[in-house]
Amino acid sequence: MAAQKDVKSETIPMTMIQALRSAMDIMLERDSNVVIFGEDVGFFGGVFRCTDGLQAKYGPSRVFDAPISEGGIVGAAVGMAAYGLRPVVEIQFADYFYPASDQIVSEAARLRYRSAGEFTASMTIRMPCGGGIYGGQTHSQSPEALFTHVCGLRTVMPSNPYDAKGLLIASIENDDPVIFLEPKRLYNGPFDGHHDQPVVPWSKHPLGEVPEGYYTVPLESAAIYRPGAELTVLTYGTMVFVSAAAARETGIDAEIIDLRSLWPLDLETIVASVKKTGRCVVVHEATRTSGFGAELAALVQEHCFYHLEAPIERVTGWDTPYPHAQEWAYFPGPDRVGAAFKRALEAR
């Protein structure tokens, strides 16, 4: 567990996009082995503008466009990492990482192990993920469970500009391969699931205040987004804000834990909270069955069994592909999350 703001330096308002760009800018500057590539990330600066201006500043041999080949992007990055570079590659949407699965699972994740440390894959794979943007089936997925299941990978997901920058710098510096999932619904402002209300920009949110310079948010450290006494919410990404809205609207004093690092994770913070509250609700956008929530529920059950006063609830996406028209029936909004809070509290 780490305080959200552990660095005192000049802060400026940033969106998550600007914060991510700032992290990459700083790492390109600090470490000549950092290279950035992916589809449309060079001259154009990325379809979400996350790498805007970086090619102009660092040149096309540090920041460049890649062919539309996810397997090629990750495979080439593994080779570069084996050479000694520190590639930061972008998969345009998390929904499109599948062609790179073999390189991620069989290669990047296992290289250190299988070569007994002779070769390593210090690399970061950035992927915009999550729904809530009418992205339909292939622009909305949350595939984190497909990564947390792979030994050798680190999976990270920020929920705000401050963490996004600090976690991305920490990920780039980390010597293990990191899957860095970016909830694109949070790129421009926090989103609590109330899609019928105007979007609040990050400039109006305290976590949109980001130090200009170098800092890190350590991996494997969760953040308590909202302290509370009645139940513990284990969540990450967009669902942090949805859970906070649910707490506000139900009046339930929920302790909301933003995991930040999904795996390996900060078990201590989770266990301490559940032991305190005796109740636990897991919330994620991804589909339910064998989703990451199942692992979280199992961990809580193993470590907090005698403190639990109610069954662990899971609020997740349905076990269907992500639909287009039915987006808000699919997306676990504050009502569904709030209902789970109530069930967890009422259970005996």
Partner 1 sequence: MSQCKPLTLHVPEPSGRPGHETDFSYLHLAEAGAVRRPPLEVLPSDTSDLAYALVRVLDDDGNAVGPWAADIDRELLRRGMRAMMKTRIFDARMVIAQRQKKMSFYMQSLGEEAIGTAHALALQEGDMCFPTYRQQSLLMARDVPLVDLICQLLSNQRDPMKGRQLPVLYSVRAAGFFSISGNLATQFIQAVGWGMASAIKGDTKIASAWIGDGSTAESDFHTALTFAHVYQAPVILNVVNNQWAISTFQTLAGGESTTFAARGIGCGIASLRVDGNDFLAVYAASRWAAERARSNLGPTLIEWITYRAGPHSTSDDPSKYRPADDWSHFPLGDPIARLKQHLIRIGAWSEQEHQDTEKELEAQVIAAQKEAERYGTLASGQIPSPATMFEDVYKDMPEHLRQQRRQLGV
Q: Quick one: angle between helices 334-346 and 239-250, nearest 10?
A: 60
In angstroms, give the least distance from the CB of 346 to partner 1.
33
The residue (of 3 and 151) whose beta carbon lies closer to partner 1 is 151
Show the CA angle centred on residue 208, arms to residues 222 and 185, nearest 5°.
Answer: 75
**CA–CA separation, 182 vs 316, rounded Å?**
18
Residues 156 and 277: their CA atoms lie apart, in Å, by 26
Q: Which residue number, 18 or 120, has a Cβ lying nearer to partner 1?
A: 120
Q: How far apart are CA 65 and CA 267, in angstroms?
A: 39
Residues near partner 1 (CB under 8 A) are 35, 61-62, 66-67, 69, 71-72, 75-80, 82-85, 99, 102-103, 106-107, 110-120, 151-152, 154, 174-176, 220, 264, 267
CB of 8 to partner 1, least distance (A): 28
Q: What is the three-class DSSP state of 206? A: helix
Residue 116, number of CB atoms within 10 A of its CB: 7
- Tokens 């109006």 appear where? 204
Q: How far is the CB of 183 from partner 1 (least distance, A)?
A: 24
* Beta carbon nearer to partner 1, 34 or 231: 34
Provide, rounded to whole angstroms, the least separation between the CB of residue 108 and partner 1: 10
Q: Which is nearer to partner 1, 119 or 214 (CB)?
A: 119
> What is the closest distance, in whole angstroms, from the C-beta atom of residue 28 to partner 1 in the complex?
12
How far is 312 from 121, CA to CA, in rounded Å? 37
- Nearest distance from residue 324's CB to partner 1, in Å? 29
Strands (E), the chain: 11-13, 34-38, 63-65, 86-90, 124-129, 154-156, 178-183, 209-211, 223-226, 231-235, 254-258, 261-263, 280-287, 313-317
| Catalytic (active-site) positions | 139
What per-residue string of b and e applies to 178-200 under the rule 16 or more CB within 10 Å gives b? Answer: bbbbbbbbbbbbbbbbbeeeeee
Residue of 41, 52, 11, 202 whose CA lies nearest to 124 = 41
Closest contact distance (angstroms) between CB of 89 and partner 1 is 10
Smaller CB separation from partner 1, 151 or 199: 151
Strand ranges in 39-177 using DSSP code E only, listed in sequence order: 63-65, 86-90, 124-129, 154-156
Neighbour tally for 32: CB within 10 Å: 11
- Please work out, in degrees rounded to the nearest 5, the angle formed at the alpha carbon of residue 147 by the alpha carbons of 220 and 83: 85
Nearer to partner 1, 118 or 346 (CB): 118
Alpha carbon distance 245, 337 (integer Å):
9
Of 153 and 239, CB closest to partner 1: 153
